Amino acid sequence: MPKMIFVNLPVRDLSASTAFYVALGGTVNPQFSGEKSTSLMFSDTIGVMLLTHDHYREFTTRPIGDARRDSQAMIVLTVDNRDAVDSTLTSAVAAGGRADPNPAQDLGFMYNRHIEDPDGYVWEIVWMNQTANA
């Protein structure tokens, strides 16, 4: 079985966050979704679990940080081509995201932009020409 990664995020508004992550390209997995959480799959091996703050607290005793104030992590999601970087951001902004909290980067062989979700988590959307020499 291939290794999988699940990013678990505490969210303030589950329905708004779910809409954002669907616009970002995730597909809701109803088997692991309910009133307190939404499971979204971005591929066979990449998943995001959105958890209400109360539900998230069931898994940790640490306080929930404020991603709008402090940088906690930057999560990278690849796309198939340059144009998909911009179109992904356009969709995510329409679903409540904030475009470009960090500067875009265009190195020719790699192009990326950032999107901030409704809770302040920053995702880097990146396209890389894997055959180019960096």
The DSSP line for 26-59 is -EE-GGG-SSSEEEEESSSSEEEEEEEHHHHTTT
Q: Cβ(125)–Cβ(77) under 8 Å?
A: yes
* H-assigned helices in the chain: 14-23, 53-56, 82-94
Fold for 5-128, please state it: 2,3-Dihydroxybiphenyl 1,2-Dioxygenase; domain 1 (3.10.180)
Q: Report how far residue 79's alpha carbon sits from residue 67's, in angstroms, rounded to the nearest whole number.
A: 24
Domain borders along the chain are 5-128
pLDDT of residue 74: 83
pLDDT category at 45 given cuts 50, 70, 90 is: very high
% of the chain with per-residue pLDDT over 90: 88
pLDDT per residue as tens digits for the range 19-44: 999 999 999 999 999 999 999 999 99
Strand 37-41 vs strand 105-106: parallel, antiparallel, or unpaired?
unpaired
pLDDT for 134 beyond 80: no
